[in-house]
Amino acid sequence: MKKIFAAALLMLAALAPAAASAEPVTLKLAFFASDTEVNYAKAIKLWADAVNADPAGAVKIDVFPNGALGKALPAQPQMVLDGVADIAFVNPALVPGRFPDDQVFEVPGLVGNIKEGVALYQALLKANLLRGYADYFVIGSFMNANAHVFSRKAIKSVNDLKGLKVRISGAVIGQTVKELGVIPVLMPPNEVVEAMGRGTIDATTTVPAAVVDFGIDRVTSYDYLIQLGTNPFAVLMNRKKFDSMPKAAQDQIAKYSPGWINDTYIKNLSAYNEEVIGQFRADKKRTVVTPADADMPAIKAASEKVTADWAAKSPENAELLAKARAMLADIRAKQ
């Protein structure tokens, strides 16, 4: 009997490591805003659900929306590095010192739509042409729609932009509207409504989805659909954390990253932005204006100057812009 008991103990001891290794790796995913925000609801949450439902069972994603781990959008990249979160949604334009090359996407007229923007972002990352990402595993490489101007003051032509205090989402977009007479103010999207209420700003550069998600439609009535360039979003994971996980866990994350989540984002966000613009056009309380032919010379001149100035800032900028244009040409040829 003693021998049988001893053998059973040895068997349990041998099985213990295997049982322990079968426990899934639990990762914390932070999202700075509401769980109804479109990037979260239509892409990030769907990704977390897909990973959690995977039969491999090597990873479990615990989601923390509504700013539960931190509401400051510019702080999200550092939160990932500090271990406050393992994964977070990041707007690189709000942290230009960390992601300096991402300004290339703001160059007016470069990116035509969300689909080609996502493809360009991923191609540049794959080629290691964007600084700031070495400490992260890129789960999702998203691209915003082109930014427009949404205002509480009437905008019927490009001349009506002059003198307006306008929230911007990035430095290059800021320079573009500045060339058109605007006073640019850099701030996160979740501060726009309060800033308009205080009179700190008159309008914002942003995308249709964000106008609804952050309640900006409640304080604006004029939509000027100028094409101002775009900016990337990323879902980033701590690289050290990713590398430390068992291969089964790495494989489970990689299975849905970035292809699965990027495709989901393209499909859902492209449709949603078009839907919002359609709703605005149908709303009798809103005025939706597309730049007229008479507006285009001023817009074209501002865009060309901003592009030339950005490229002239450094040989690296000029080289990156040239490579981005070449990659875009290849992407468009394959579509």
pLDDT of residue 96: 85
Same domain, 295 and 191: yes
pLDDT of residue 170: 85
pLDDT of residue 169: 81
Q: Is residue 279 part of a domain?
A: no
Please count the structural domains in the chain.
Answer: 2
Q: What is the largest CA-CA distance in the chain?
A: 97
| Amino acid residing at 259 | G
Same domain, 25 and 67: yes
Same domain, 218 and 322: yes
Same domain, 160 and 175: yes
Q: Is residue 8 part of a domain?
A: no
Print the domain residue range for 42: 20-144+231-273
Same domain, 131 and 192: no
Same domain, 164 and 263: no
Same domain, 186 and 307: yes
pLDDT of residue 159: 96
Same domain, 195 and 326: yes
pLDDT in tens, the chain (335 residues): 445 444 444 444 444 444 345 699 999 999 999 999 999 999 999 999 999 999 999 999 999 999 999 999 999 999 999 999 999 999 998 888 999 999 999 999 999 999 999 999 999 999 999 999 999 999 999 999 999 999 999 999 999 999 999 999 888 999 999 999 999 999 988 899 999 999 999 999 999 999 998 999 999 999 999 999 999 999 999 999 999 999 999 999 999 999 999 999 999 999 999 999 999 999 999 999 999 999 999 999 999 999 999 999 999 999 999 999 999 999 999 87
CATH of the domain at 108: 3.40.190.170
Same domain, 53 and 178: no
pLDDT of residue 17: 45
Q: Is residue 3 part of a domain?
A: no
Same domain, 134 and 175: no
